[in-house]
Structures are given as C-alpha cells and as structure tokens.
Amino acid sequence: MEGAPLGPLFALPPSPHYLWIVGLAFAAVAIVVAGIGLVWGRLPFGWGVPGLVLVSGFAYVIGALVVLEESKRVAFCGSCHETMSPLVASLDEDNGSLASKHWRIGAVSHVDACFQCHGGYGIWGTADAKLAGVEHMLHTVTGRYSFPLVARKFDIASCLGCHAEAAPFRAQEAHHDAELQQALLSGSLGCVGTCHAEAHPAKALVGARAEATGAR
Amino acid sequence: MLRVACALVVASQLVLAAMLLDLTGLRAIVFSFVGAPLLLAAVILAALASWRGDGGPRGSDAGDGAGRSPPPGT
C-alpha cells in the first residue's frame, strides 16, 4: 500500500492525536481499582461505587470518541478482511475504477479515502456515515450480508463537493442538462455505472475468499 | 454483588484497552457489542451494591460491622 519513501520534502506532516493514551490511562485506573475490589470485596483508597462507575464510564466515552475518529481511516476499513480488504487492495491497482483513479492521482487522501467518498457531505454526511458504520458492524455480527456487495445509498454530494466548482466539470456539456441534474440530485441516477466507470471493480466486491478462489 | 460488578468492570476495561492499543473492525465490534453491555451490567450491579450498602468506604465498614450503630446495651 505504502510506496517507497520520497524523503522529508514529500512526507506529509504527522497528525497524531493522543486521545487513546488518555483512554488507556483511565482504563488502567479502573482496572486497578476494580481488581482490588474484586479481590477484597470492597473498593480501595476510599473510592465509592460512583467513583468507579465514573472513571470506567469516562474511559468508555473516550474509547467511543477514538472509534468515531479512527474509524475514518482506510486501514480500519480494510481490517474487516472478508468484506473490505479486497476493496482496499484494489485501490492501488490500475483497474480503471473511479476509486482507483481518485486514489492513484491523489484526489482523495490516502488516510481516509473511504470516508471522504462514502461519508457524504457536511455534518449530516458524517452522522449518516457513522450510522452506516454501526449497520456494518451489525451485519458483520449477524452475518447478514451477501456478495457481491452493493452500495444501497451513495450521497452524490460527495462527488459534487469537489467537482461542482471544477472548470472541467462545468465545461462538460452533459452536466448542463437540467433533467440530468434533477435526476442526479433526486438520487434516481448516479454518476457511476451510467456515464462514469464503476466505483470499484466487480472482482473486489465478491469478498476475499471468492476473490482468492477466482485468482487461482 | 460488588465483586461481580468489579469483575465486569475489569472485563469491560480490558476490552477497551485491547481496542485502544490496536483498533481494528473486529475489536471495535467487541467494544460495542460486548464491552459496553458488560460495563452497563457492571454499573447496574454497582448501583445495586451501593444501594444495599455493599461497597465503597461505607460498604467496607458495613462488611466488618464497624460502621453500624452499636446494638443497644453494648
């Protein structure tokens, strides 16, 4: 996934956040206090039950914030091996898909490319993306998903957020058609699969196992 | 009851720590669907324990009887 390093001139500045360390510290305190409570049958250091509940609960709130933030990363999406890893791997391939094109020319961030396109636009786009993430987790737990994967909903504002003001986009004659614009905005028509290439190659939508079998 | 609550807190925090150290989809799922219910159960049990005077400094006193009013005549 990562190319050869080009040197300090082309290295992106690091943007780490240390929230996870705070969460880990609170979790450690909660574990020590609850561990002693488990052995002794009472809480140490004058801790009351509310103190233990507050510290352990606060650690979980931080954990939830970390998940909300870090789940935007491409590496997080790709960590669901069976479903998502072929999609993430296909980004590097020159396969003509829209995702691959955007990825390879650097039109989307290599840190959170999945989120940039699938997250929708604006604050409600982010909220929708998080709800969709919970749905993905439920599908994974219950096994209620099937291949090939199909995006049931895609917010076209993700495309327009970047392209709508671009000169090449505005110069394109087809984009001036009022009916087409209406169809796109109403969601009855999408950019991909009609005028533009598929978002992802078909072989990446069938899951890791099927892809491996097909590759043999 | 307090011991059970503490055991659940430890389990939930271990799930959280594992996720914070290496965030993957699987660990996020365990955090959401195992760790959070464990913590919720722990909070309910701890609240019950607290209500019954079974935990904390008062609870520790209650455990050995030192915090209670002496029985009449002693």
- CA atoms of B56 and A34, how far apart (whole Å): 11
ipTM: 0.80
- Calculate mean pLDDT across residues A186-202: 86
Least confident residue range of A5-14, A45-54, B49-58: B49-58
> Is A141's CB within 8 Å of B33's CB?
yes
Place of tokens 């491996």: A212
Give the number of other CB atoms < 10 A from CB of residue A144. 9
Global pTM reads: 0.79
A131 reaches B (C-beta below 8 A): no
* Residue of A21, A29, A49 to mutate, testing the B interface (most B Cβ within 10 Å of its Cβ): A49
- Calculate mean pLDDT across residues A200-205: 89
Q: What share of chain A is helix, strand, coil (3-state, %, to 5)?
A: 60, 0, 40
Tokens in use for A20? Answer: 């996870």
Give residue limits of the domains in chain B.
2-54
> Is B16's CB within 8 Å of A27's CB?
yes
Give chain B's mean pLDDT: 78
Give residue limits of the domains in chain A.
18-70, 73-216
Of A96, A114, A115, nearest in space to A104 by CA: A96
